Amino acid sequence: MSSPEEYMLPCLSKTLIGVDCMGCGIQRSVALIIQGDLIAAFYMYPAIFTLILLFGFIGLNYFKNYKFAGKVIIPLAIINVVIIVGNFILKTFIN
């Protein structure tokens, strides 16, 4: 039986210049969620749950147009950017 990691796309940034990108870990994090390991998924990519929430709401808003959608989507997007950039800085410069 093959492992899901065999089918994952390699990070172009890490492959070419040896530096993790801001999205490094998201595929493995999704695979961990599918396997049911939510804590490991969070440690792999801390923004995974807020991204799921953001894209879930965007998808829901696509089918049922909420008039308050901007008041939800914009703060969620800002939170995601802060988490992703913060995690990148921690991984790259502090570890």
Please report which confidence band the pLDDT of residue 32 belongs to, taking 50, 70 and 90 as the band edges.
very high
Output the pLDDT for position 15.
84
Average pLDDT, the chain: 90
Output the pLDDT for position 63.
93
Does pLDDT of 46 surpass 90? yes
For residues 56 and 71, is the Cβ–Cβ distance under 8 A?
A: no
The angle formed by the CA atoms of residues 15, 21 and 26, to the nearest 5 degrees, is 100
Predicted TM-score (pTM) of the model is: 0.83
